[in-house]
Amino acid sequence: DTAVSQTPKYLVTQMGNDKSIKCEQNLGHDTMYWYKQDSKKFLKIMFSYNNKELIINETVPNRFSPKSPDKAHLNLHINSLELGDSAVYFCASSQESWGPYNEQFFGPGTRLTVL
């Protein structure tokens, strides 16, 4: 059974388009995250939600907007895509946002290519 799933796995699109990436976790976790991994493999946190509430909002462009319809889902919508948005985006979840249960479980990633 997949613990953290993301769709789509690959996304190729033109500059200026709007796209969404969906994430679902079936672990019953309270906290979910979005990370961006660039071509040099650097992992940078973008957002974190705890029980549908935004708790971490890194300095990312306003074109990126997370949405958490319920505790098990955290979607990422990106407006007006730019070349620099090309990266692998990972969703992750953890039982809590801190403490000994902060082990983060990552999804398989979505490779976004902006042409």
Residues in touch with another protein (CB under 8 A): 4, 40-45, 48, 50, 55-56, 90, 92, 94, 96-100, 102-109
CB of 23 to another protein, least distance (A): 11
Give the residues across from 111 on adjacent strands.
10, 88
- Closest of 90, 86, 79, 75 to residue 115, by C-alpha: 86
Strands 87-94 and 105-106: antiparallel
Pairwise CA distance, residues 65 & 71, whole Å = 17
With respect to another protein, which residue has the nearer C-beta, 14 or 41?
41
The CB-of-81 to another protein minimum distance in angstroms stands at 22
> Shortest distance, CB of residue 80 to another protein, whole angstroms?
27
82 vs 101, beta carbon nearer another protein = 101
Helix (H) or strand (E) holding 55: strand 53-57
Measure the CA–CA gap between 114 and 112, rounded to whole angstroms: 7
User: Which residue, 98 or 113, has its beta carbon nearer to another protein?
Assistant: 98
The least CB distance from residue 111 to another protein, in Å, is 9
